[in-house]
Amino acid sequence: MMAMRRAVAGKRPAEIKALGLAGQMKELPVAMADFEQALGKVQSSVSQADLNRHRKWKLEFGAS
């Protein structure tokens, strides 16, 4: 999404549509900074308690 946001920044809706029609929105370069920024915005979906419970189970019963 960050690459797409950069591509459309400051453009009017007609200009954005033209980019899509020209196929320029299909192969946007993604940089490591895009991943780092995304990681800074998302929240963990698994709690620390769940992770600890899984580690305890793995130590007791092993991995499958």
Range of the domain at 30: 1-39
Alpha-carbon radius of gyration of the chain: 20
**CA–CA dist 52, 58 (Å, integer):** 10
Domain count within the chain = 1
Instruction: For Cα atoms 53, 54, 56, give the angle at the middle one, nearest 5 degrees.
Output: 65
pTM (predicted TM-score): 0.48
H helices within 1-64, ranges in order? 2-8, 13-21, 32-41, 48-61
User: For the segment 2-53, what is each residue's pLDDT rounded down to a tens digit?
Assistant: 888 888 899 999 988 888 777 777 778 888 998 998 889 888 899 999 999 9
Question: Is residue 35 in some structural domain?
Answer: yes
Instruction: For Cα atoms 54, 60, 64, give the angle at the middle one, nearest 5 degrees.
Output: 65
The predicted pLDDT at position 56 comes to 94
Question: Is residue 22 in some structural domain?
Answer: yes
